[in-house]
Chain A
Amino acid sequence: MKEHNDNLQSETIDHVIEGGGLSQQDRQTSRLIQNLHTYSQEYAQENERSLDRIWSRMVQSQEHSVSLQAAWKRPEKRLAVIKEIKTMEENNLSWGMNPPHSQAKKRRSFLRTLGIGLAAAVAIIAILSFAVFSTFQHPASQTAGNGSSTITGGAGHPQQIQQQKVISSGKQVCNLNAGSKVSINGAPWTPQLAWSAQGQIGVTTYSNVKAYSAKDCGAAFSASSSIQQAYGPVWSPDGKKLALVDAGDNSIHVLDNHGNSIAHLTFSQLGTLGVGNLFWSSDSNKIMFASQDASQQESVKSIDLTSNGKAATMMMLPANSGVISFSANGKVALLSHTDMSARPIKKDTEVWDVNSEKKLSSYTQQPIMNAALSPDGALIAIDGANSVQIYTTADGKLQASFQNTVSGQGVHTIVWSPDGKYIADATNVIKVYDVNAKKIAATFGQVDSQHWITTLTWAPDSSGLASSTLSLKDDVPSATDNTVNVWALS
């Protein structure tokens, strides 16, 4: 066998891929590189179109005062590669290159047109079968008077006694290292938390699901089955079951409060491609979740754990909409919606009344860093760039606004207390706002610029908060240092 004169060296690999440094004799390397360019050309062009679309939207945006030119300058080398392929195709050079992908483009174009047509045709699909939804409603919710505040029975924990105390400070109870968490398959970096009615804090990390005592952060259990890349933990109202999604094998797990598996349902079993936030029914027997099918249509499905575990579709979402979250009583849904027919395309955040199948209000301000519905769905808290604003969902009227200037680039987190009286918001510090008094009630847990507070969860009786903190190294999130803090509010 002839010794191969190898031009593939790591020091020059970028140059070689761009067509330099290859001799005429190295036909195999040239052929491989050219074929990889050719076979990925359609995908590469789609990416170029994405970048064009983003730039175009930026030019059209009214949110800045900079006069941008109509076209951005594409990197010449990227274009050169495409041009080179095209030239070789046209000339049918040495390797019998393929003709331009006219059919592929036509097929894509047809599908795009068809997709847009369908999307337009079903622009406002009525939400189906909300009667079933009533089983998810918590019985004790009620909204006070003019909607300026909300008192509920505890967001899925009606057995709890109403807390009357006023929060004015937060004090650390304990903390723990939650272990490593990296982002793979769409699972987030940060651990996610859920606080049970029985005083356990469930923590999902990269490689496991664990629970700790909220009193002293002592270990309560570790999931007995192997669960990788878990997210979205949520305890049943009775505190006996922990449901979560596994991005590793694309499934939903249900554990008991000792970490043993009760159910393991794959996405394919459930007839879904993607799963959003999970939500328990008040009887702790059913799980509701936002689902996305192959055509990217979203719906709300439910699983009855007492029967066969099959998913039933409860409602279809309007086209080009996705569920952000539900109110704790299940009566109100928070959706993100994109108006594909508008030019430029418009996005807004919408509140829908599930029972009446009507949109209650929509919010178009930008940026919306995060938003959350009060437990009874009567109010929405929107975390914007520099303020937290509270609106009544029935009519979209502003009820209160809190200044919230954030230093650094922390992840915005906002959660309502289960009793509906407070909002906790975190970026680089935890702030608790008193919704009734329309003032800040407590500030604590400040972190430096190399940390982000990424998750907040309330104790079911609104007496405490748990937060997770992610550390950065050289501005990059660290996969190994994730701390969970438990705070007592008084």
Chain B
Amino acid sequence: MQYKEDNLLKQSSDGELYAELYRRYAPALFAYIYHHLSSREDAEDIVLNVFLSVLQNQQFPTFEEQKQEAWLWTITRNKTVDHLRRSIRRPQVSLEWLSEPLYADDECSPEQISLEHEEYAQLASAVCKLPELQQEVLRLRFGHGLKSDEIGSVLEKSGSAVRAMLTRTLRLLRSIYKDQAEGDQL
């Protein structure tokens, strides 16, 4: 993964160390929990608990990076399962991440707004028709800003499988614009 090369964790003070750890792992761990719980508040609580566990574990800074990552994922999955066992289940969040921009700026012409509405509608419609897993990969990539390897950790798939799926999905969605361009040329 992209983070493996740097040695910041070994070099920095405690505060910087934990900030770096948070920067590296919190987005993916949060996405993972939110994916399973569909509750932002609960996901925040659990990520907080995970990192408080890190702070309380005096041995943690001595772990190798690979072990740190494995430890974080194990405890996150554990706490998520633990939470699910005794909480209300909510319907899974699907497309709330894809929101149509509002057009408050008077500088946008009605024609332009109309075109963008149409473009948004086409893209949203195409995304809706994708299988659930492909939608989730898009949400994690664009809504959570995760790399393919991180998405793989969230979905328990390999990074290469995620990259292949993401590529296929984007090729499929790109055909919307391709068709539009060809239509414009007619």
Q: Does A188 contact B (CB under 8 A)?
A: yes
Bitwise interface map of A from 329 to 345 toward B, beta carbon under 8 Å scored 1, else 0: 00000000010000000
Contact code string A464-481 (vs B, CB < 8 Å = 1, else 0): 000000001011110000
A101 touches which of B47, B101, B164 (Cβ 8 Å): B101
Given contacts A8-B171, A104-B101, A452-B78, contact A58 B55 (CB under 8 A): yes
* Those of B131-150 within 8 Å (CB) of chain A: 138-139, 141-145, 147-148
Residues of B within 8 A of A50 (CB): 30, 40, 43-44
Closest-by-CB residue of B relative to A231 is B89
* A13 close to B30 (CB less than 8 A): no
Task: Tell me, in angstroms, the Cα distance from A476 to B116 when the chains sit together.
Answer: 43
Interface string of A341-379 (1 = CB under 8 A from B): 000000100000000000000000001011000000000
Contact residue among B31, B37, B40, B181 (Cβ-Cβ distance under 8 Å from A186): B37
Q: Once bound together, how far apart are the Cα atoms of A283 and B170, in whole Å?
A: 57
- Most chain A CB within 10 A, of B22, B115, B176, is at B22
Q: How far is the CA of A476 from the CA of B74 in the complex (A)?
A: 7
Smallest beta-carbon distance B154→chain A, Å: 12
Residue interface bits B45-60, CB-to-A below 8 A is 1, else 0:
1011101100110000
Chain A residues near B100: list those with CB within 8 A.
Answer: 39
Q: Is the CB of A14 within 8 A of B145?
A: no
Contact B36 A40 (CB under 8 A): no
Contact with A along B94-122 (1 / 0, CB 8 A): 00111111111101100010011001100
CB of B82 within 8 A of CB of A185, answer no
Decide if A104 touches B99 in the complex (CB within 8 Å): yes
- Taken residue by residue from 237 to 257, chain A's Cβ proximity to chain B (1 for < 8 Å, 0 otherwise) reads as 000000001010010000000
A352–chain B nearest beta-carbon distance, Å: 17
Q: Are B52 and A63 in contact (CB under 8 A)?
A: yes
Q: Which residues of A contact B44 (CB under 8 A)?
A: 50, 53-54, 57
Contact assessment for B91 and A29 in the assembled complex, using a CB-CB cutoff below 8 Å: no
Asked if A32 meets B174 with Cβ closer than 8 Å, knowing A99-B104, A186-B90, the reply is yes
- Verify A276–B30 contact, CB threshold 8 A: no
Asked if B98 and A43 make an inter-chain contact with CB atoms under 8 angstroms apart, the answer reads yes
Contact between A73 and B20, CB atoms less than 8 A apart: yes
The distance in angstroms between the C-alpha atoms of A36 and B160, with both chains bound, is 21
Q: Of all chain A residues, which has the CB nearest B176?
A: A32
Are B167's CB and A10's CB within 8 A? yes
CB distance from A207 to the nearest CB of B (A): 17
Complex Cα distance A186/B42, Å? 12
Determine if B38 and A54 form an interchain contact, defined as CB atoms under 8 angstroms apart: no
- Is A145's CB within 8 Å of the partner chain B? no
B62 within 8 A of A: no
Within 8 Å CB of B142, what residues of A? 17, 36-37, 39-40, 44
| Complex interface: chain B residues within 8 A of A72 (CB) | 19, 22-23, 26
Instruction: Give, as a whole number of angstroms, the nearest-CB distance from B58 to chain A.
Output: 10
A64 to B125, CA, bound (A): 48
Q: Answer whether residue B81 sits at the interface, using C-beta atoms and an 8 A cutoff.
A: yes
Q: Is B183 an interface position by the 8 A CB rule? A: no
Contact with B along A2-44 (1 / 0, CB 8 A): 0010101111011001000000000111011101111111111
In the complex, whether A325 has a CB less than 8 A from a CB of chain B is: yes
Closest-CB distance, A255 to chain B (whole angstroms): 19
Q: Which of A54-79 contact B (CB under 8 A)?
A: 54-55, 57-58, 61, 63-64, 66-69, 72-75, 77-78
A429 → B minimal CB distance (Å): 16
- Which residues from chain B contact A46 at a C-beta distance below 8 Å? 40
Contacts A11-B163, A96-B115 given: A54-B48 contact, CB under 8 Å?
Answer: yes
B82 touches A411 (CB 8 A): yes
Report the Cα distance A257→B51, complex, angstroms. 45
The answer, among A68, A275, A474, A475, for a CB contact under 8 Å with B19, is A68
Q: Most chain-A Cβ atoms within 10 A of its Cβ — which of B105, B108, B124?
A: B105
Q: Which one of B14, B27, B166 lies within 8 Å of A47 (CB-CB)?
A: B27
27 of the cross-chain contacts (CB-CB < 8 Å) are: A1-B182, A13-B167, A14-B148, A29-B174, A42-B99, A43-B96, A51-B47, A55-B26, A58-B55, A72-B26, A75-B23, A81-B145, A99-B101, A104-B99, A104-B101, A183-B81, A185-B91, A186-B38, A186-B89, A186-B90, A188-B85, A190-B81, A275-B89, A324-B86, A367-B52, A370-B82, A412-B82
**Can you add 16 more A-B contacts, CB < 8 Å, to A13-B163, A63-B56?**
A8-B170, A8-B171, A17-B142, A32-B173, A37-B142, A43-B99, A43-B143, A51-B22, A73-B20, A74-B23, A104-B99, A250-B91, A276-B88, A370-B82, A409-B74, A411-B81
Interface residues of A (CB under 8 A from B): 1, 4, 6, 8-11, 13-14, 17, 27-29, 31-33, 35-44, 46-47, 50-51, 53-55, 57-58, 61, 63-64, 66-69, 72-75, 77-78, 81, 92, 96, 98-104, 183, 185-190, 192, 231, 245, 247, 250, 267, 273-277, 290-292, 298, 322-325, 338, 347, 367, 369-370, 409-413, 452, 454-455, 472, 474-477
| Pairs of residues from A and B, 7 with the lowest C-beta to C-beta distance, nearest first | A99-B105, A43-B97, A64-B55, A186-B89, A28-B177, A276-B88, A98-B101
